[in-house]
Structure 1
């Protein structure tokens, strides 16, 4: 359902964020990181998106990328 909604509204950061969380719960971390990153890119003013993406990177062992993600 979320993917279909994204096809209709690809610039909706909230949809990408929700899909990222769904993918985290499904243990599909690579896909989740892509969606969480996209959400933070689409709405850089929403600190929560950047924060969740940084936490996901850290959880994936990509600590080096955390600093870069938060500097955007």
Structure 2
């Protein structure tokens, strides 16, 4: 009977560790997503704050800002 109790404890500990690892993974994924979103908003706001003339000087149309910010942060 002691062996069965030991197996249950090991299984519970493994399940708890697995659950904790999954929760840590979800939390890390959320932190990464928030950081990327903050970077996207920062990039968008910086480009959006430029005048039309400034944008023209760097070869960017105002309508391209969303795509440029997205590509800069999230890739192609």
Settle same-fold status: TM greater than 0.5. Answer: no
Computing the radius of gyration from Cα coordinates, the structure with the larger value is 2
* Structure showing greater relative contact order (alpha-carbon pairs closer than 8 Å, 6 or more residues apart): 2
Q: TM-score, normalised by structure 2?
A: 0.29
